[in-house]
Structure 1
Amino acid sequence: MRRVTVRFGVVLAFILLIAYSGFATYRWMEADGKNKSMMSYAVSLADVPLWELAEASSMVEYLIRHNATDELLNERISTYSLHARTLSYSSAMLHALTKDEKYQIFRTAMKNLEGFFITVKNRPNGKEVLESNLDVLKWIGEVLKEKRISDLTFKEAEKILELSGILKT
């Protein structure tokens, strides 16, 4: 009788272990699916702002050369600051999901860029400040050109951080 009870206990423990393993695997797969979905969303969220910021120097140069009004220039600068903020948020999401340090570095660079654009917009001589920083904006654009945020390398993120630190207001 005692043997039957022990066997029953072992079988029951084994069944419970299998059930728990199945449940844990299901929860892990569900969480993994959510992480992949969130990563996909964060990468997609960054696509347009990356493209816009990669082309920002060309647009700014065009507007300056063609004597655009301050209102038009400020509108573009506001848009670029919002794009930098969006990239900062997207980078924060990707860093939280992947723990990849390149996203934290890129986030800091985008915060610097956002601050630069906000400062330029609020300066009475914003056009001159933009013109004096045009080369740096072109270099940033070259690094960002035709990339998704997930394609950025650690070195490229560091380069953008370095360049964003060179911007003078």
Structure 2
Amino acid sequence: MNNKRIANIITLVLITVLISTSVAGASVRKAIPFEAYSLKGEKIDVDFEKEFTLLLFISSECLECLYRLLELKNNVQSLQLENKVRILPVCIDCDWRKLVQLTKAVNSEMFLVPADLKAKWGVWETPTCFLVGPAARVLGKWEREVPFAEIEKTIATYFKDKRNVVASRKNTSSCSSSFCY
């Protein structure tokens, strides 16, 4: 074989490995803890150890974000997951005045977060939703749309198999330290 053909084969293998790693990465990486703040100025330590959390990153300028938040709340109620899943909407570019307006618009509490959280979690567009399991493992990441059937299936699988084989695999994500790329 000539060198060019070998280089092409190696490139193809590397691309395949990178794609398979990044797809599995969201389902096995450890959730990055952070602090959020309510409109009252109360500091909230976000702990992913106890329950499922749907972490929704929204932007103050994004109407689709508000729609997805309302859709998320309605679907969690209709799927009867309120006792199993906590919805945590965080605004990544809000000041407190914008957050007051958004909270009134959707009749739901939202939280302020540090500016660097967007990069730490690998959020490149809004809305972005993460499903974090009780073992503080990121089980899924979705941008724009939230597939509720997939979320329901993931949660049902988790309760069916308490060992949660998917979440216990070694970290193969594209995260290093506390940053994702």
TM-score, normalised with respect to structure 1: 0.27
The structure carrying a bigger strand percent of its residues is 2
Larger helix percent? 1
Say which one has the larger Rg.
Answer: 1
